[in-house]
Amino acid sequence: MSRQHNVLPGFNLALGYTLVYLSLMVLIPLAAVFIKASNLSFGEFWNVVSAPRVVASYKVSFGLSLVAAAINSVFGVLLAWALVRYSFPGRKLVDALVDLPFALPTAVAGIALTAIYAKNGWVGQILEPVGFQVAYTPWGILVALIFIGLPFVVRTVQPILEDLEMETEEAAASLGANRGQTIRRVVLPALLPALLTGFALAFARAVGEYGSVIFIAGNMPFVSEITPLMIITKLEQYDYVGATAVAAVMLVLSFILLLVINFLQAWSSGRVRKGR
Amino acid sequence: MSISFYFRVLVAVLASFALSVGAQEVTLLNVSYDVSRELYKDINPAFAAEWQAAKKGVITVNQSHGGSSKQALSVAAGLEADVVTMNQSPDIDILVERGGLVAADWKQRFPYEAAPYTSVTVFLVRKGNPKGIKDWADLARPGISVIVPNPKTSGNGRYTYLAAWGQALQKNGNDAARAKQFVAALFKNVPVLDGGGRGATTTFTQRGMGDALVTFENEAVLIAKEIGEDQFDVVYPPVTIEAAAPVAEVENVTKRRGTHAAAVAYLNFLFSGAGQDIIARHYFRPRDPAVLKKYAARFPAVRTFTVENALGGWANVQKTHFADGAIYDQITEQR
């Protein structure tokens, strides 16, 4: 094995530090989940994680998180686009507003959203008479997840858009591309890797979200119970092991989905580089 | 610097140390459930004043509040509580099971099975009771909407469920199948399951959901008083459940911290005349007959049963009703 010296000094130190830090802060707590869950036999574990009510909660949590991340991807790009490409009065203010869902305690977000969408709230009193109930239904969960996930997409796409010079689009236009072709073949491929990262972050955040959802969800079994609530429910009944079993399933499912998204992202950024 | 300077410093340090030992400033941590916050805000200074008047030194009682079961879990996991004051006995029993933090005979350590006060489950309805809700059967009528906190995550919700179950048993000659049918019909009328009692209160009062809120008497009366007696009425059903709020010393902690005497004195204060008076002023039903009589106007007489005398105790209730796949799960899965 030939020793290769990195140009940057301190490689060993940096790697060692990274591994120790990651282990202490992330890997060891996660390992504890699996160790605790392994107190169950496989049959018991399966019974806990495949109970109909728990399965229904996976569908609610993962399904709505994917939908929310998808919606955020579309509108997040539009928002980032508007912030980067146009200058209008109050742009700085709008830019700062985007980060608000990051900063707000999630419980506050949940209470505020519920107050607005309940049948006596500003929005609810318009929607409810036409037969569209948002608060205390899965729609309410979706609204909360969109709210908390928005900054992730905007903040990952924005720097790429800033780097993407207007000249590129002008060049495309002068080479005969129409607006649609420019967006489809020039702008979007360059944005795609960042967009996928934003999607993944928004999705991951939504899957784990508890505080804001719990107020607006209604928490009806089989309809609007999210998986984190199932974990809390088990903890409240002193069922540590059952709670960690469900948590372990969530972890594995989230990890698989994030891996898939990462592969997609690697693939798409490879395409961008080849295209250049 | 001279030697005498160091000597003086040493003397000062020793003296202050001796003083701090002599003054015996004691702190206690009371880990409690969610809605007892306001009660203990009044109890603690009153107890500290009594403690000081008895020349026992300065005492500070710190509070920690949260969902009852969550709080018990924190104590089991190492939160250094000197005393626990909960709203259902399983939350203290768990501390006996998990590492013997509390003595197994904790119910015998204080009067009235170590529960200084009780509350009963009642209904809060919109002003004038437009839907005519008077009894449990009215809550199960089609077209009625009832707000109840989640029995899986809330002691308050568990008592509501058990109250409905117990009175249905009484009405139907202990026929469990009929009781199950009744409770299932009632929970079909529940559109939102909030995590805790306060959440359900908000949903009913602020969000305008539901025709009735089922909750503890102290909470219902407080809402009617705080938010406006022109908006809500409290309805006492003919029969309901009585919920005792148990207290215990966490001996593992008090032994180590040397706070045993203070902890016992604090809990005894809850049963004293002064403590019972504060309790009654917060709309919890006091145990002391004299205090109860003094505040009789606040506490209408109502026929009650308890988990212990009508439902076979908490261990049984936990197993047959709330465990995974038990009766509560069955009725929610039928929906």
Claim to verify: residue A14 and residue A49 sit in the same structural domain: no
**A123 in B contact zone (CB under 8 Å):** no
B73, B94, B98, B152: best to mutate for the A interface, most A CBs within 10 A:
B152
Claim to verify: residue B43 and residue B140 sit in the same structural domain: no
**A17 in B contact zone (CB under 8 Å):** no
Residue A64: what pLDDT?
97
Claim to verify: residue B79 and residue B195 sit in the same structural domain: no
Q: Model confidence over B15-24: pLDDT tens digits?
A: 555 444 445 6
Q: Using the beta-carbon criterion (under 8 Å), do A220 and B191 form an inter-chain contact? A: yes
Count of domains for chain B: 2
At residue A44's C-alpha, the angle toward residues A43 and A49, to 5°, is 100
Domain that holds residue B328: 119-243+302-333
Claim to verify: residue A181 and residue A194 sit in the same structural domain: yes
**A138 in B contact zone (CB under 8 Å):** no
Claim to verify: residue B103 and residue B234 sit in the same structural domain: no
Q: Kindly list the residues of chain B whose beta carbon comes within 8 Å of any beta carbon in chain A.
A: 67, 69-70, 73, 94, 150, 152-153, 191-195, 199, 202, 206-209, 318, 322-325, 329, 332-333, 335
Domain that holds residue A193: 41-275
Claim to verify: residue B287 and residue B159 sit in the same structural domain: no
Strands B285-286 and B117-126: antiparallel
Nearest to B193 among A120, A220, A235 (CB): A220
Claim to verify: residue A123 and residue A176 sit in the same structural domain: yes
Measured CA to CA, the distance from residue A177 to residue A173 in angstroms comes to 5
Claim to verify: residue A26 and residue A101 sit in the same structural domain: no
Residue A1: what pLDDT?
46
Claim to verify: residue B278 and residue B326 sit in the same structural domain: no
**A239 in B contact zone (CB under 8 Å):** yes
Residue B22: what pLDDT?
47
What residues in A contact B209, CB-CB < 8 Å? 118-119, 136
Claim to verify: residue B16 and residue B137 sit in the same structural domain: no
Q: Model confidence over B292-334: pLDDT tens digits?
A: 999 999 999 999 999 999 999 999 999 999 988 899 989 987 6
CATH classification of the domain holding B263: 3.40.190.10
- Structural tokens at position A125: 């009193």
Count of domains for chain A: 2
Nearest to B67 among A219, A236, A239 (CB): A236
Claim to verify: residue A121 and residue A172 sit in the same structural domain: yes
What are the 10-residue block averages of pLDDT along chain A, 276 residues in total? 66 89 90 89 92 93 96 95 90 91 90 91 90 92 95 94 86 88 87 92 94 90 92 86 93 91 85 61
Nearest to A233 among B94, B152, B335 (CB): B152
What are the backbone angles phi and psi of residue B148, rounded to the nearest 5°? -140, 135
Greatest pairwise CA separation for chain A in angstroms: 74
- Structural tokens at position B112: 């009235």
Claim to verify: residue A80 and residue A144 sit in the same structural domain: yes
Q: Using the beta-carbon criterion (under 8 Å), do B335 and A222 form an inter-chain contact? A: yes
Claim to verify: residue A64 and residue A127 sit in the same structural domain: yes
User: Under a CB-based contact definition with an 8 Å cutoff, are residues B247 and B115 in contact?
Assistant: yes
Q: Model confidence over B234-289: pLDDT tens digits?
A: 999 999 999 999 999 999 999 999 999 999 999 999 999 999 999 999 999 999 99
Claim to verify: residue B96 and residue B227 sit in the same structural domain: no
pLDDT band at residue B9 using 50, 70 and 90 as cut-offs? low
Claim to verify: residue B238 and residue B111 sit in the same structural domain: no
ipTM: 0.73
Average pLDDT over residues B93-112: 93
Residue A273: what pLDDT?
65
Claim to verify: residue A110 and residue A143 sit in the same structural domain: yes
Measured CA to CA, the distance from residue A177 to residue A170 in angstroms comes to 9
CATH classification of the domain holding A163: 1.10.3720.10
Claim to verify: residue B51 and residue B92 sit in the same structural domain: yes
Q: Model confidence over A133-142: pLDDT tens digits?
A: 999 999 999 9
Sole residue written with tokens 């009594």: B50
Q: Model confidence over A226-259: pLDDT tens digits?
A: 999 999 888 888 888 999 999 999 999 999 998 9
